[in-house]
Amino acid sequence: MKKIIVFISIVLSLASCSNEDSDMIAIDNPEIALNIPSDFPKLNAFVSQNKPTKYGVELGEKLFADKRFSADNTISCSSCHIQANAFTDQHAQAVGIEGRIGLRNTPSIQNLAFMKFYNWDGSKLQLENQPLVPIITHEEMDSSILDVINKIKDDAVYKDLFKKAFGDESVTPDKIYKSIAQFEYTLISANSKYDKVKRKETSFTESELQGFQTFQQKCASCHATELFTDQSFRNIGFPLNTDTNEAGRGRVTGIPSDFMSFRVPSLRNVEYTAPYGSFGQFSNLRAVLDYFDNGVLDADNLDPIFKENGKRIPLTEQEKDNLIAFMKTLSDTQFVGK
């Protein structure tokens, strides 16, 4: 509903009798209060410079689902980031226009307002700088921001939304990036069984509890904090992506000690995000745990936690069952719309 702040125009017309500039009519576009769960890490500093608003988020959500972002109008952001899969796509490596296969597995889009680094290699530090990457990437949307703007700029629904969100109907790259980021900032998952147990609304089964204990001993040093990632980059000896473009964090820093290191993934909603690993090496959670147990690949920069423990995380079959039961308590059915 439009609420036109009439008094602004009254004040203006008093100040200057000739001013009838209709742009001065402000549309009520309230900020959306982010529901920040207790114990979460602090917000990424950029959120305060682009606070989600009612229409900013609505616009961002619409853009996120718009297939005109791709050269041939077949792929939207949400083609790869599907809500029911916690905003992933079930492919080992992302599939873009014309069936082109990308370098990496699609990560979930959740709790990004609390992250300091984006992408597997942390190549982006600010969410507003991210959307251009898929738009121009050959294996993703293979388009350009000018093409996208040309396709949507005369759409009446967009004109209205851009105006409501940003005060005027012009469609600019900056507004596109900002509104998509605003939408993403609102994607907060913190209502899993694990969260409910923490809030003392329910309790773990025996198996989940045992899994939680094993998790704290053997996994939580990296899958730390309420995000279940400490946001560090580590080489944990997963099977290697032989694509010559892949170097993990080393791609960003150029430092040998970062070669094939990847950002520790959040394990929230991990039940919905198979396959696993930076290029989907593992089809299910059991396969990841079997791999840890059997032993990982050695490397000069293999993480000390593995290096100093015989390059493996020993796990009994019972521990694996319990760990999987625990990881499934991180599923937030409300978040994935189930």
**What residues make contact with ligand HEC under the rule CB under 6 A?**
64, 69, 75, 77, 79-81, 94, 96, 102, 104, 106-107, 109, 112, 118-121, 127, 130-131, 134-135, 140-141, 180, 184, 218-219, 221-223, 234, 236, 238, 262, 264-265, 267, 270, 273, 276-278, 285, 288, 292, 303, 305, 313, 323
- Cβ proximity of 145 and 180 under 8 Å: no
Choose between 25 and 337: whose C-beta lies nearer to ligand HEC: 337
Shortest distance, position 199 Cβ to ligand HEC, whole Å: 23
Shortest distance, position 160 Cβ to ligand HEC, whole Å: 21
Choose between 26 and 103: whose C-beta lies nearer to ligand HEC: 103
Choose between 283 and 333: whose C-beta lies nearer to ligand HEC: 283
- Beta-carbon count within 10 A of 232 CB: 16
Hey, what's the torsion of the CAs at 97, 101, 104, 108, to 10 degrees?
40
Shortest distance, position 9 Cβ to ligand HEC, whole Å: 37
Per-residue b/e over 195-226, b at no fewer than 16 CB within 10 Å?
Answer: bebeeeeeebeeebbbbbebbeebbeebbbeb
Choose between 12 and 305: whose C-beta lies nearer to ligand HEC: 305
Shortest distance, position 8 Cβ to ligand HEC, whole Å: 34
- Cβ proximity of 71 and 107 under 8 Å: no
Shortest distance, position 15 Cβ to ligand HEC, whole Å: 42
Token pair for 105? 């597995």
Distance between CA atoms of residues 288 and 120, nearest Å: 17
- How big is the CA angle at 304 (ends 299 and 309), to the nearest 5 degrees? 95
